A and B are shown apart, each in its own frame.
Chain A
Amino acid sequence: MPNPQIPPPDTAKIPEQLRRHWLSVLAKAEPDQIEALWSDLPEQPNWTPVRQPETGMVMVRGRVGGDGNRFNLGEMTMTRSAVRLSNGQTGLGYVQGRSRRHAELTAVLDAMLQSPEYRSAGASQLIEALVSRQAEQRDVRSRKAATTKVEFFTMVRGNG
């Protein structure tokens, strides 16, 4: 999937697709990665929790062949949180795993990316860094998997 570009800070309305993109990147990132990039941010806003981070289970559903009947794939552990920045902007975080800090930072970054003054101050670069890190990891994983590939072929028995 092509990565949508995060719009310049003067864009007032955030398209839903973009917000979905960064929330997805943050949800799947390693908490340590976000933490490291977060501490490098030039400006960190103050925030108050609207919903304290809480861990629970969600049912992951899939569709047979991508467009068939819905089925329950299984439950996964998630942590969610919601915060309000000092400028009034609210943000949501739903992440995999049970790291409360991960959920809270995701919510803070979601709020930052929605407020023009913070989007320029490193928040969108943080997402881009995570995207390239995740692409790298995916690449390494698929290379490792590719080395185990077995080619099956049938020997044609000669008759002469």
Chain B
Amino acid sequence: MAIAAVPRNVVPTSAGFTDPVQDSQAVFRRVLETMARPGSIQNLPPLVTGSGRLGPAAAAICLALVDFETPLWLDPILAASESADFLRFHCSAPIVSDPQAADFGVIVGIPPSLSTFNTGSDAYPESGTTLIIQVATLSEVGSLILSGPGIDSRREIGIDGIAPAFWPAREAIVRGFPRGLDLIFTAGQRIAAIPRTTAVTVTQAIA
């Protein structure tokens, strides 16, 4: 496992959870909720402020899900910032430079090619990377129509700041089911998940 940088023992300026047990359970419950009902937007309680470019919801999800056993991949914007110190300190996670080795990936900029991430194997599909993608806004109306398990016929969602080419690339990856990538989008305190089982249709060109 390649470690991206020599771990520095830096105390970040942003605080983690006030009550680690209760707070991570509260976040976990909402992540579970949106994973079970793909595209449903959940509001996280204001538990943490985030750090640098890493927003409050993305930071809270990392604090709840990531620990010393889950290698974490950060996009280049985060890896070079104080957010990396925040995640290393509070999650104790090894930060890796190889996306294939990562259990979780955090993206705040333009998503890289999804094919670089680990999609799991047919025997262990759950070992694939879960991506936490921070976007500008998440809304109940928008250009994406979701369908599949956990959705009663169809659900609309607007995800601002994702290039149109992202969705066909995702489609190509989840076609290898049970292998695939699970995505959690965050914006401010809001989160919405699009797991690998969800079919995404783009209804109009995204600005």
Contact = CB atoms under 8 A, between A and B. Distances in A.
Interface in B1-53: 11-20
Query: Chain A's interface: helix, strand, loop or mixed, by majority?
Result: strand
A82 B10 CA distance: 11
B11 A49 contact: no
Contacts of A82: 11, 89
A51 B13 contact: no
Given A51-B89, A51-B90, A91 B13 contact: no
A33 interface: no
B20 A50 contact: no
A50 B11 contact: yes
A50 B19 contact: no
A92 interface: yes
Interface of A: 48-52, 54, 82, 84, 88, 90-92
28 contacts: A48-B15, A49-B15, A49-B18, A50-B11, A50-B12, A50-B14, A50-B15, A50-B16, A50-B89, A51-B15, A51-B89, A51-B90, A52-B16, A52-B17, A52-B18, A52-B19, A52-B20, A54-B20, A82-B11, A82-B89, A84-B11, A84-B13, A84-B15, A88-B13, A90-B11, A90-B12, A90-B13, A92-B11
Interface of B: 11-20, 89-90
